[in-house]
Amino acid sequence: MMDVYNKDFWKGINPGSTITLKDKQSIEDSMEKGNGMKGMDYMVKAVYRLKEFNDLVEWHFFLLDDPGERIWVMIKIVQQEIDLRVYFEHPQFESGNRRDMIDLGNLWLFMEPDNPEEFQFNDLKFSDFIEIEEDNGDMLTYRQKGFKEMHCECEIVPEPSEIFDPIATIVEYKAKGVCENPELLLWELGGKDSSDGGLIRLMLGCTLGPTEIDVLEA
């Protein structure tokens, strides 16, 4: 029987496996597509395994095969505690490196540097809070969680054909109040060997309960 709270289980999930999401948003998506009131089946395209340098936290990110949007299932492991979440890359956020973020005017991602006239991109720290506009026009504020910026080693399966920097930074945020996606995550991959910084993704999501996910191993 599948045990979603067994950390060893997730270490065996590889590309080609099938993940079925049965949370509220997934069931609504299924109904909109005319498939009835059931979960959504996705094949795992790639797996990103991250481990914090001091072994405090590890994450398993599963990129799902969906033609319409980039969907990730995230498993976060802190000692014996396991947190399950589903994330969606924000459709209005264009991923890019730190230089791209500054050029695009996304200064709100970072805290103001000591000298705004002269700074290195890799010296910038991610902001303590991020404001996201909801569909109804209201602004929702996400604040950094207690771990702050976490720096990790990253392994990708399958291994990319091009050379990549296996260092990543994870920053988690949480919104106050009731909303559909109270979790926000900034994920920067690479950048250690580039003065322009690494690739930054912004993702919104929510927690999954143990009955809201099924997995069929490849």
Average pLDDT along the chain: 92
pLDDT for 106-115, tens place per residue? 999 999 988 8
Q: What is the DSSP pairing of strand 129-133 with strand 40-52?
A: unpaired
pLDDT for 139-183, tens place per residue? 899 999 987 899 999 999 998 877 777 899 999 999 987 889 999
pLDDT for 30-67, tens place per residue? 999 888 899 999 999 999 999 999 999 999 999 999 98
The number of beta carbons lying within 10 Å of the beta carbon of residue 100 is: 16
The whole-model pTM stands at 0.93
Between CA 112 and CA 117, with CA 114 as vertex, the angle to 5 degrees is 85
